[in-house]
Structure 1
Amino acid sequence: MSGLPGAGTSPGLGEASDLKFPLGAKFREPLTEARFQRLFGGTNEHQATRAEPRSSRLCRRWRRLASACSGPGAWRLLRARLPPLRWLPHYRWRAWLLGDAVAGVTVGIVHVPQGMAFALLTSVPPVFGLYTSFFPVLIYTLLGTGRHLSTGTFAVLSLMTGSAVERLVPEPLGGNLSGIEREQLDAQRVGSAAALAFGSGALMLGMFALQLGVLSTFLSEPVVKALTSGAALHVLVSQLPSLLGLPLPRQIGCFSLFKTLAAVLTALPRSSPAELTISALSLALLVPVKELNVRFRDKLPTPIPGEIVMVLLASVLCFTSSLDTRYVSDSGCAEWRIKINGLLLDCSHALHLMSCFPTHLSRPVVWLQVLEDSLLVALVITFAVQPPLGPPSIAGQDRLPIDSNQELLRNGISNLISSLFSCFPNSATLATTSLLVDAGGNTQLAGLFSCIVVLSVLLWLGPFFYYLPKAVLACINISSMRQMFFQMQELPQLWRISRMDFAVWMVTWVAVVILSVDLGLAVGVVFSMMTVVCRTQRVQCLALGLAEGTELYRPLEESHKLLKVPGLCILRYPTPLYFGTRGQFRRILEWHLGLGEGRKETPKLDGPPDAVAEPVRVVVLDCSGITFADAAGAREVVQLARRCRDAGIHLLLAQCNASVLGTLTQAGLLDRVTPEQLFVSVQDAAAHALERLEPTGPKTCTV
């Protein structure tokens, strides 16, 4: 700045620079937007592009699409949609193969018990959990872009799918079903779960066609973490009947968690001591093993496979002791009989269930319910599951990028194709992804080794799991929720960082727990959006002053040493200007400039406590914080320019981005102000304002 009234005179050439002026400053004329464009150019081509007729732009876009049909264009498209064509030629076989093999086998061993356990959440036979741990993993090897992502069954999706399946195919009231009736019920539920996977896959392919992958970043982190933490509590409560051996129907809908707790407490005297004992022993093994794997992650060559060990031990114990047929107490108060899977995990039985077409799906009303549930599953996969697994969280140790649109394509094809094999909805999972990274996985090839492990179980080891107690599967479900439960430890830190994010977390969590997972997610999203709107409504318009001896303008409320020129008001409005904030913008500017009745009604927001006696003659509006403006906001600026002109106030706009400036121009701003009132920076606008306030003073500014 060349000088301020009452702040001293500008040093001449060769004189020592006073601290009231920028050190080593160079002198130049204030730059308006028009003069800046004339001097530096670079916009002729851009303006020509904007002025290009729409038909020419469409023709140029069509030529680009036609070029993709050529040989090189088709190869580029194929490489973009089949990632192995990019990374497989550069695969380091000697350095990476062993790590991928060990990591893939380790994850595959976890997939086996976890897939069967999550099938219990989905209300389908365990073999279909293994199918869901096989086909999606194989498809991700071919289409996935994340080197360290692992796909398969996911607890939140299984819980949501199970609720939808129970609603579409409810358990008969009597509960005592014959073998044929139970098989028909399972076939109906398998078909419903597969229909949900098919519908969600088709919807995600439609989202990929519209290139909506960028929307996956719009769900805030507190909403996602509260959703998964609340869903973990739902999983815990839903597994209590299996832990205690109580034949209770599954509760669905709102308040299902409390309904389940009430039913369990009512039926608690009828719990099975044998299943309770097995559950306690299983948790006593699984929980410490999980803790050891976390605490000694860097020291263990591979994580301890506690789940598969528990599955083997429980199956052998139940088979050798015949706990599924013995030990019913004479008193009738306690039953010492173990509930087992009772289904051979072989392909023939699964194919028989797959061949039974679910007749209830032929009704249009049911298809509408399936479509509604499929849309919810697709949104959860896209917005709540995939973002936490992308960079920079756990996308890879080297922070490799993940193409969100390609992941939409992969998720869509994975669910669509796997549904043809009666798989239920699937996605990337946090637990197995962490395990894959810890075990030394390097590329997507690790998924191929996981598929080999699961396929071996399906082909040869399936009948062995006939005697696996359901209580063990319930314990595996509960222990797999460990990481989601521990997310609540971040609440104190979140409270210190942002009270608003803490409120979003708590509202979402309470809604998920009290209502349901889907309704809780909707409440969390709406509340999160409301907080964003509220933040734009509560923003302060800051009055700026010059830091002595510099060219920097800072808010006057930060320091009493900042210089303010009488008659000059420099304001910064740091929020988008749209229909929701235009009223606040008008009231704040009226108060600062003394226009209308706003000064009497609006309390002071910032600035020193003493009011400026001299009326405002020049106002500089710093637009650097206005990231966008809609038609309503632009018209408000035009009205402000008219009112300032009528009141004898000279309005200057500084640092408008190209988008905002274009919107203001289209709204008719240049009919109210001249191009010489638009400046590239606050410094240039302030220098021009000082020239207007002090006609006899220096006519240069320092930058």
Structure 2
Amino acid sequence: MSASVAVYRNIYTEDRFKQAYGSDDITSGSLRLREKLAGSCRCSRRACLHLLSERVPIFNWLPRYRLKKWILGDTIGGLTVGILHIPQGMAFALLTSVAPIFGLYTSFFPVVLYMFFGTGRHVSTGTFAVVSLMTGSVVEQLVPTPLDMNSSSPEAADFEAQRIGVASAVALLSGIIMLCMFCLQLGFLSTYLSEPIVKAFTSAAAFHVTVSQIQSMLGLRLPRHTGTFSLFKTLASVMENLPHTNMAELLISMVCLAVLVIVKEINMRYRKRLRTPIPVEILTVIIATGVAYAFSLDSSYNIEIVGHIPAGFPKPRMPAVHTFPDIAGDTVAITFVGYAVSVSLAMIYADKHGYSIHPNQELLAHGISNTVSSFFTCFPSSATLATTNILESAGGYTQVGYMMYKCFCHIHKPLI
């Protein structure tokens, strides 16, 4: 037997079908599509607050700030980092081949901006030796030092303006690249930074920082080495010039290092008994500065000092954007190195203290920091190894320490 299926249904004409089920013409469909689009673009108050807390994280964690538990550590950590940013910023400005004052600016503006947009609670941003060395190579290539230039001549001021213009252009282009990466949601690339890679990268960066400071510790004035194997060329130059070491500068460096290491060991051994770690970095900088001034070490022992620093903050000005075609390739490398260091440090301290960071938000934070600060004569910034470690070891818990640092800058900048 064969199976059969019988279907009974009403037969409609077009007019009767429209009467029974309504019209579904093209115009009504377009209307519903417009309504859906309008609904998806409509932003409620709750959605606005969620977006604000997501893109400006300070509004998310600041209301939950534990005042009694964290304020002392954040205050000491912020003031410690604030003082250390002074010599570090000026030293790394010289690595960038610009005047020391621009290192102070780079230690202020990016720090304040990252405080609002960053997700790393213990990350201290500002000048970083590796980024400064790479930027300095670009500056030296485009604005080489004339052999017969007098430091007090009008040409010297124009020369410095050209150099900081190029360095600021690198910061601006680096910030734009990071903002483009944020828009493309490329923060996921940080997932490929495994723990061994992160630790190896930060260790290598620390080694670069150490090598860059050896000649200053020994009081040597050596030419800059750039390009492939520049690290080993620098070490070779140091070894060749060891007989010309300034013993006074070496003695000061060794005493300061010994004090830092000993007090750090005391802080680690007695951290349960100490309410807050001893701020040895602050004390070392203050005492060393006072001794240099009181005994006129610059004239007595030929120790190089920074000298006059202009007071106040700079007026906004446009970076040298016409150099973009010349600096584009190097800036891409500087951007990736700066971002890799920043995210690596943020990951290390986030894992240590049990919170998470958002790599894509870090792109936004550092992109805004570099873009905005470039208009205030700043060179490229990133997270820094030394001050991040000091901020955490000095008892800092959150980025409220940056607020203390900002207040400190308003006090110390006019004095400098």
> Which residue in the other structure is 2:344 paired with?
387
Give yes or no for the alignment of 1:66 onto 2:41.
yes
Give yes or no for the alignment of 1:179 onto 2:147.
no
How far apart are the structure 2 equivalents of 1:388 and 1:83? Answer: 18
| Count of residues in correspondence between the two structures | 384
Shift of 1:244: 3.0
- AA of the residue aligned to 2:183: A
How far apart are the structure 2 equivalents of 1:362 and 1:416? Answer: 12
Contact 2:74 2:400 (C-alpha < 8 Å) held by counterparts: yes
Shift of 1:414: 0.9
| Structure with a larger share of its residues in helix | 2
SS state at 1:443 partner: coil
Shift of 1:230: 3.0
> Which residue in the other structure is 1:422 paired with?
377
In structure 2, relative to structure 1, the CA distance for the partners of 1:79 and 1:178 (3 Å cut) is closer
Shift of 1:208: 0.8
How far apart are the structure 1 equivalents of 2:260 and 2:247? Answer: 20
Shift of 1:171: 3.0
Alignment partner for residue 241 of structure 1, among 215, 218, 235? 215
Give yes or no for the alignment of 1:347 onto 2:312.
yes
> Which residue in the other structure is 1:412 paired with?
367
Shift of 1:456: 1.8
Shift of 1:196: 1.6
Under a length normalisation based on structure 1, what TM-score does the superposition of the two structures give? 0.49
How far apart are the structure 1 equivalents of 2:412 and 2:157? Answer: 22
In structure 2, relative to structure 1, the CA distance for the partners of 1:421 and 1:296 (3 Å cut) is farther
- AA of the residue aligned to 2:152: G
Alignment partner for residue 50 of structure 2, among 76, 89, 94? 76
- AA of the residue aligned to 1:179: S
Q: Please list every run of 5 or more consecutive structure 2 residues that lacks an aligned counterpart in the other structure.
A: 1-29
> Which residue in the other structure is 1:90 paired with?
64
- AA of the residue aligned to 1:226: A
Contact 2:190 2:343 (C-alpha < 8 Å) held by counterparts: yes
Contact 2:263 2:280 (C-alpha < 8 Å) held by counterparts: yes
- AA of the residue aligned to 1:346: A
Contact 1:146 1:396 (C-alpha < 8 Å) held by counterparts: no
Give yes or no for the alignment of 1:109 onto 2:83.
yes
SS state at 1:394 partner: helix
How far apart are the structure 1 equivalents of 2:271 and 2:130? Answer: 25
In structure 2, relative to structure 1, the CA distance for the partners of 1:265 and 1:442 (3 Å cut) is closer
Contact 1:112 1:308 (C-alpha < 8 Å) held by counterparts: no
> Which residue in the other structure is 2:200 paired with?
226
Under a length normalisation based on structure 2, what TM-score does the superposition of the two structures give? 0.79
Shift of 1:403: 2.0
In structure 2, relative to structure 1, the CA distance for the partners of 1:273 and 1:383 (3 Å cut) is closer
SS state at 1:239 partner: helix
How far apart are the structure 1 equivalents of 2:169 and 2:329? Answer: 12
Shift of 1:182: 4.5
How far apart are the structure 2 equivalents of 1:167 and 1:178? Answer: 20
Give CA deviations for 1:549-580 in whole Å, capped at 9, x if unaligned: xxxxxxxxxxxxxxxxxxxxxxxxxxxxxxxx
Alignment partner for residue 357 of structure 2, among 386, 399, 402? 402
Contact 1:219 1:384 (C-alpha < 8 Å) held by counterparts: no
Shift of 1:210: 0.9
Give the root-mean-square deviation of aligned CA atoms: 3.2
How far apart are the structure 2 equivalents of 1:185 and 1:307? Answer: 35
How far apart are the structure 1 equivalents of 2:126 and 2:64? Answer: 26
> Which residue in the other structure is 2:324 paired with?
367
How far apart are the structure 1 equivalents of 2:384 and 2:303? Answer: 31
Give yes or no for the alignment of 1:195 onto 2:166.
no
Give yes or no for the alignment of 1:317 onto 2:274.
no
Shift of 1:293: 4.1
Query: Is the radius of gyration larger for structure 1 or structure 2?
Result: 1
Contact 2:76 2:279 (C-alpha < 8 Å) held by counterparts: no
Q: Please list every run of 5 or more consecutive structure 1 residues that lacks an aligned counterpart in the other structure.
A: 1-54, 327-335, 463-703
> Which residue in the other structure is 2:15 paired with?
none
Give yes or no for the alignment of 1:146 onto 2:120.
yes
> Which residue in the other structure is 2:249 paired with?
275
How far apart are the structure 2 equivalents of 1:126 and 1:171? Answer: 16
- AA of the residue aligned to 1:109: I
In structure 2, relative to structure 1, the CA distance for the partners of 1:247 and 1:97 (3 Å cut) is closer
Shift of 1:295: 4.6
SS state at 2:377 partner: coil
Structure with more relative contact order (C-alpha pairs < 8 Å, separation 6 or more): 2
How far apart are the structure 2 equivalents of 1:244 and 1:437? Answer: 29
Alignment partner for residue 188 of structure 2, among 211, 214, 219? 214
Contact 2:122 2:346 (C-alpha < 8 Å) held by counterparts: no
In structure 2, relative to structure 1, the CA distance for the partners of 1:387 and 1:60 (3 Å cut) is farther
SS state at 2:307 partner: coil
> Which residue in the other structure is 1:454 paired with?
409
> Which residue in the other structure is 2:258 paired with?
284
Give CA deviations for 1:339-363 in whole Å, capped at 9, x if unaligned: 1112325227x66xx87x88xx465
How far apart are the structure 1 equivalents of 2:219 and 2:386? Answer: 27
In structure 2, relative to structure 1, the CA distance for the partners of 1:264 and 1:183 (3 Å cut) is farther
